[in-house]
A and B are shown apart, each in its own frame.
Chain A
Amino acid sequence: MASTKGKFKPSAGMKGMSFSHMAKILSRLMGYVVKPRKARFTFAVICVLISAAVIAYNIRFTQTVIDSFIVPLLKMQSPDFTTLNREVIRQVIVVIIGFAANVSYAVTMAVIAQEVQRDLRDKMFNHMQTLPIGYFDSRSFGDVMSYYTNDIDTLRQMIGTAIPQIITNVAFIVCCTVIMLITNVWLTILVAIVLALCFILLRVVTNYSSTFFKVQQGVMGKLNGFIEETVSGQKVVKVFSHEAASMDEFSKLNEDLRQAAFSANRNANILQPIIGNLGHELYVLTALIGGILMVSGFGGVTIGIIGSFLQFGRQTTNNWSQMSMQLNFVVQACAGAERIFTHLDELEEQDGGDISLVNVSYAADGTPVETAERTGHWAWKDGNKLLPLTGDIELKHVDFSYVPDRQILHDITMSARPGEKVALIGATGAGKTTITNLINRFYDIDSGSITYDGIDIARIKKPDLRHSLGVVLQEAALFTGTVYDNIRYGRLDASDEEIVAAAELVNADDFIRTLPQGYNTVLAGNSEDLSAGQRQLLTLARAAISDPPVMVLDEATSSIDTRTESMVQAGMDALMEGRTVFVIAHRLSTIVNSDVIMVMEQGRIIESGRHAELMEKKGRYYELYTGVFDFV
């Protein structure tokens, strides 16, 4: 792949993310969650509110039982339990309603969360298919892959867990506060003050311990880097008997990490007991101050109120601490969401073409007539005009650069007449692959012109242009599926017989028949059951079945050893028969019989002609051919 190696790194990390920026990301995300399912989402929110209200009501139950029943009943001679019974039945009904609301909300949210994830996933992949090749060339494989793994993962947790929990907790906190205020203002103020103190304390401890985590992260990165490097090169370590030295270095880094991890963890472990016990302190304070208030007859505090406040206190502490945990998560997820949105906002590949490729048959007088079925004859359809496809390609004064100011191709002029075989040779980076990238419009030229049967390729619809060009690349990309599936990738309506015929044409049939299930053998995409040569043969069969008028063979044999190559070569020769072909090669044996050989150096064509002519000239080609000079 000829590409600019610049690695794209989006502004990762949320340290610098402003609040308003985060709000924007969140509201966009909520758009994906809410918009397609307003009714269900509203239903879920209503259920949350009901269930929160029920919980708050439940907590007051303790107070009701104590104040309205136990205390008065204790004073009676013959206690009458009928009212209590009635109250209990009412309570049971309320609990059941709460449970129902709770279940419907939880299930609805779980389904919504899954839907949103599926939709986002599909959207991302769908969008990715429309992106230009330049997008993939300018990013590392890992970067793109991580949208689907890491980023969608954080999003999954956020949509699946964080958002529902935040909604629940907010609802609870609101309900509890309202009911506490109704029950007793003074004790509510007390709870509020203690909670506020809790959170200030928490903030301080968290901030303090997070600095240690950063240190740990750094040390861990160093150790992991060392591990990765050493273990990847473990065989070299063995060959040089370097085990003891590696161990020394490792021990040092390992001890550093242990110390850093210890500091980080001991500070983090301060949090849990504090949170847990602040609940107790609040508990005690409520009882103490409540008791004092009650004894002094201030504020209308009763035993029952104290009892229920003890629980309100706990409940709200729990809600707050859960919510603060989830909020941390939201901040993290925002970074992931931002990366996904950036990906979704990438510009799609533009297609300005209006000329399409159609099947034609020829009438008796030789005029082409458009047909629906495959005839093996093609034509370009420009409005009503039909222009037969012959496979004549011409480049005139083409300049090109992947990134501005770094010109890759300089003034390239070349032509391939129908049925001609054109070879491009030159060192890595000379610009051979770039030329093929331009012909199928993976990239657009800066200046000059490229024509196909005399038509400017910019005027041809991209899918149609690409249908008319068959490409076989150095890296034989296969897809998981059967041998049939992989060859059929070239033409989806090909019959099994046609596939076998294509395989026979390129000499692939023999080895396919030796596979365990023949053509039905399932190949893994990165299959190591096949040799490089065999994989390449399959991609040749794939190109053969698509039967394109023009073929591009880009270093199709360079990863194969010489002997296997001779096997593949016969297949390639068969494939090239009767087509216009561009061959990029570094082994000259494969291209000596070309109609034109172009020698490229640093983005320029320095020599061109037939083998004999070039040998005569005793220039660079001659040096290459006689082995004096070699590409590195």
Chain B
Amino acid sequence: MWKTLLKHLGKYRTSSFLSAISIMCEVIIEVQIPYFMAQIIDKGIPSGHIGQIVVPAVILVACALASMGCGLLSGQFAAHAGTGFAANLRRAVFEKVQTFSFTNIDRFSSSGLITRLTTDITNVQTAWLLLIRQIVRSPFMIILCFVQAYRINPQMSIINIISIILLSAGFAALMVGTRPIFRRALKMYDKLNRIVQENIRGIRVVKSFVRERQETKKFDDTSAGIYTSYVKAEKLFSLTNPFLQLMFYGTLISIAYFSARLIVVDGTMTTGELTSLIMYNMLILNAILMTSMSLLQVVNGGASGRRIADVLAEESTITNPAQAAIDVTDGSVEFHNVTFHYNEQSETPSLANVDLHIESGQTIGVVGDTGSSKSTLVQLIPRLYDANVGEVRVGGRDVREYDLQALRDKVAIVLQKNVLFSGTIMDNLRWGNPDATRDDCIRACRLAQADEFISCLPDGYNSRVAQGGANFSGGQRQRLCIARALLKDPKILILDDSTSAVDMATEARLRQAFAEYLPDVTKFIIAQRVNSVKDSDAIIVMHKGQINGFGTHEQLYAANDIYRQVYDTQNPAEKDERDAAAGASGEKPGGGVRPDACLRPTAPSGIALEGGVA
């Protein structure tokens, strides 16, 4: 996993390396300090000359300053390396996401990708900073201190060895022992959060059924479970500090006791050396503590690192063909025996054996239950997904032979979950065509029945769009999205339930405008309201991933059960009339309130509008 990530270290390799080197220099110098200290105590003070004290003291201050300098330097390098590495990774992940197909995106989910680009990258940055400083520093410190202690007195260093082993083993045991408990407790936290979540979301149900007490009990039980398991782990974990101190003072006593004998009886050690040994011992134990703490954090960062590596290792399921066709000659669409699964493991395909032949310029309605794969069907046309079996042809050519961008420019789809981006209305429209002139945009908006409300806005086409288009109503957003798609000047236009929030009168004008001004564009319209597609050249009735019926309204109403059922439920009045067997249908009164009507004069004159809908 680290191998995948480290590939993106790039030019920050040098500063990472320099940071490690300078932190090692810091350690090397720092370790000298207790040694000179011993000099002061052993030679300076007994000699009675202030000069004998001052000289080593000046050296000491110089050492301390030098080691501080190295530490500062390392901090600078590390900051450069860590933040640079994070930036590189973030860029690599984002770049990867841009190449992802819909299948890839579905696999990770948008929120999963966002977490990887934000929290996970930050975690890896922290882990990397620790790695090139703390994880280099502490073990190096342990080794050097040990070497120094050994040089002072090899016998005494046995105590160091014992303390290093004991403490490391103790910490390792603590971590291994508490990890599963913590992990279990974390799971219970998820459960607790879920209970709170369901409670808040369903608070009206809770209160309506007067179930406050049961909810509280459910919560308290889980909360008590968390308490029980956490207490176990925390009790164990709380032993860290007492254990560290026990080790520290245990070694202190043994060093002092045995040194006293060496100093007094054998004369192989000095008082100054005793203080140095104690110092080294303290540095070693602290370094062990730091190493274990840092390791814990690096391991935590590892989980994030793995999640990032997963994204980087993911191959896009849809790629551009080698010799791509660029010209989409017309808007004809064919499906030949197409079968499609979202998930290779799933047994029932989302689309099964679909055959279709649509001529260029036709208007095709698509109806069916939720989950009948209406959206799936149309998403294969701009090659958002690839068919598993069979082929989809646009303009007489397999979609897999086209250059992706060329294909998607000519096949405009307005997704069901459409999104506007923050910026101005103009910015958003130009997603469809970066070179679109203002007049182009206005024309598209008139066709999409959006111009009317846009011109009512104080800033017109320069009005701000908040994130997600939150400052527009659902119907307005949908019309803006349609206009954006129209700006592509497509040969095929697909509206995936894109007018559900538009009122009927406006929708009727929209249909009329399409018929009048986009006669050559093949139009696919998925709709919940059958009336929206009733007048299409043909209607596809989808049912459980298959085409259940294909034909005009009259044909389907006569022959297709599903279609008739839906149509009748949605048009009770007509059914009443038919049931009453009153031959001729009455004239419907026209003209409801137009919700967008405003007092300002609409349609800035002067733009000769092909799409000048009256």
Q: Which residues of A contact B504 (CB under 8 A)?
A: 627-630
- Contact between A235 and B249 (Cβ–Cβ < 8 Å)? no
- Contact between A110 and B61 (Cβ–Cβ < 8 Å)? no
**A500 in contact (CB, < 8 A):** no
Q: Which residues of B contact A284 (CB under 8 A)?
A: 33, 37, 57, 60-61, 64
Q: Beyond A66-B274, A125-B219, A632-B595, is A58–B264 a contact (Cβ under 8 Å)? A: no
19 contacts between A and B (CB under 8 A): A61-B256, A106-B242, A129-B213, A136-B203, A225-B467, A232-B468, A235-B105, A240-B488, A241-B405, A254-B87, A273-B74, A307-B278, A463-B210, A473-B205, A477-B205, A542-B209, A628-B591, A630-B504, A632-B502
**A198 in contact (CB, < 8 A):** no
Q: Indicate which residue in A122, A243, A467, A566 contacts B210 across the interface (CB closer than 8 Å).
A: A467
Chain B CB count within 10 A is highest, among A121, A133, A314, A566, for: A121
Residues of chain A touching chain B, judged by Cβ–Cβ distance below 8 Å, are: 1, 51, 55, 58, 61-62, 65-66, 69-71, 73-74, 79, 81, 84, 88, 91-92, 95, 98-99, 102-103, 106-107, 109-111, 113-115, 117-118, 121-122, 125-126, 128-130, 133, 136, 141, 144-145, 148-149, 160, 224-225, 227-247, 250-251, 254-255, 257-258, 261-262, 265-266, 268-270, 272-274, 276-277, 280-281, 283-284, 287-288, 291-292, 294-296, 303, 306-307, 310-311, 314, 440, 442, 463, 466-467, 469-471, 473, 475, 477-480, 489-490, 492, 525, 531-532, 539, 542, 546, 560-566, 588-589, 592, 618, 623, 625-632
- Contact between A292 and B53 (Cβ–Cβ < 8 Å)? yes
**B409 in contact (CB, < 8 A):** yes
Q: Which residues of B contact A114 (CB under 8 A)?
A: 227, 230-231, 234
**B605 in contact (CB, < 8 A):** no
| Cα distance, A628 to B33, chains bound together (Å) | 91
Chain A CB count within 10 A is highest, among B61, B63, B201, for: B201
| Cα distance, A442 to B531, chains bound together (Å) | 39
**B357 in contact (CB, < 8 A):** no
Q: Which residues of A contact B196 (CB under 8 A)?
A: 125, 145, 148
- Contact between B45 and A291 (Cβ–Cβ < 8 Å)? yes
Q: Which residues of B contact A257 (CB under 8 A)?
A: 87, 90
Q: Indicate which residue in A251, A262, A532, A630 contacts B79 across the interface (CB closer than 8 Å).
A: A262
Stretch of B332-340, B412-420, B451-459, B550-558 lying at the A interface: B412-420
**B606 in contact (CB, < 8 A):** no
Q: Which residues of A contact B432 (CB under 8 A)?
A: 240
Q: Which residues of A contact B573 (CB under 8 A)?
A: 625-627
- Contact between A61 and B252 (Cβ–Cβ < 8 Å)? yes
Q: Indicate which residue in B75, B220, B592 contacts A272 across the interface (CB closer than 8 Å).
A: B75
Q: Indicate which residue in A102, A136, A141, A281 contacts B241 across the interface (CB closer than 8 Å).
A: A102
Q: Which residues of A contact B40 (CB under 8 A)?
A: 287-288, 291
CB-nearest residue of chain B relative to A564?
A: B369
Q: Which residues of A contact B263 (CB under 8 A)?
A: 70, 74
Q: Beyond A66-B274, A469-B208, is A107–B235 a contact (Cβ under 8 Å)? A: yes
Main secondary structure of the interface of B (DSSP, over half): helix
CB-nearest residue of chain A relative to B34?
A: A283
- Contact between A266 and B75 (Cβ–Cβ < 8 Å)? yes
Q: Which residues of B contact A115 (CB under 8 A)?
A: 227
CB-nearest residue of chain A relative to B189?
A: A149
Q: Which residues of B contact A245 (CB under 8 A)?
A: 434
- Contact between A270 and B95 (Cβ–Cβ < 8 Å)? no
Q: Beyond A84-B257, A122-B219, is A629–B224 a contact (Cβ under 8 Å)? A: no
User: Which residues 408-429 in B have Cβ within 8 Å of A in the complex?
Assistant: 408-409, 412-413, 415, 417-419, 421-422
**B312 in contact (CB, < 8 A):** no
| Cα distance, A136 to B201, chains bound together (Å) | 9
Q: Which 6 A-B pairs have the closest CB atoms?
A: A273-B71, A269-B75, A477-B202, A265-B79, A258-B87, A233-B419
A interface footprint on B34-68 (CB within 8 Å = 1, 0 otherwise): 00010011001100111001100100110111011
- Contact between A250 and B67 (Cβ–Cβ < 8 Å)? no
Q: Which residues of A contact B98 (CB under 8 A)?
A: 237, 243-244, 246-247
Stretch of B109-117, B299-307, B387-395 lying at the A interface: B109-117
Q: Which residues of A contact B212 (CB under 8 A)?
A: 129-130
Q: Beyond A233-B419, A273-B68, is A294–B200 a contact (Cβ under 8 Å)? A: no
- Contact between A98 and B53 (Cβ–Cβ < 8 Å)? no
Shortest distance from the beta carbon of B361 to any chain A beta carbon, whole Å: 22
Q: Which residues of B contact A148 (CB under 8 A)?
A: 192-193, 196
- Contact between A58 and B249 (Cβ–Cβ < 8 Å)? yes
**B154 in contact (CB, < 8 A):** no
- Contact between A531 and B370 (Cβ–Cβ < 8 Å)? yes
| Cα distance, A287 to B468, chains bound together (Å) | 66
Stretch of B143-151, B166-174, B564-572 lying at the A interface: B564-572
CB-nearest residue of chain B relative to A216?
A: B83
CB-nearest residue of chain A relative to B30?
A: A280
- Contact between B204 and A442 (Cβ–Cβ < 8 Å)? yes
| Cα distance, A630 to B279, chains bound together (Å) | 84
Shortest distance from the beta carbon of B495 to any chain A beta carbon, whole Å: 13
- Contact between B238 and A272 (Cβ–Cβ < 8 Å)? no
Shortest distance from the beta carbon of B416 to any chain A beta carbon, whole Å: 10
- Contact between A287 and B198 (Cβ–Cβ < 8 Å)? no
Q: Beyond A65-B256, A239-B384, A562-B570, is A477–B282 a contact (Cβ under 8 Å)? A: no
| Cα distance, A631 to B220, chains bound together (Å) | 44
| Cα distance, A524 to B371, chains bound together (Å) | 20
Q: Indicate which residue in B95, B371, B422 contacts A247 across the interface (CB closer than 8 Å).
A: B95
Q: Which residues of B contact A250 (CB under 8 A)?
A: 91, 94
- Contact between B113 and A234 (Cβ–Cβ < 8 Å)? yes
- Contact between B223 and A277 (Cβ–Cβ < 8 Å)? no
With A1-B204, A239-B382, A562-B566 known, 8 other A-B pairs at CB within 8 A are: A61-B252, A145-B197, A265-B83, A281-B61, A287-B57, A291-B57, A466-B209, A592-B572
CB-nearest residue of chain A relative to B125?
A: A261
- Contact between B71 and A272 (Cβ–Cβ < 8 Å)? yes
CB-nearest residue of chain A relative to B475?
A: A632
Shortest distance from the beta carbon of B138 to any chain A beta carbon, whole Å: 12
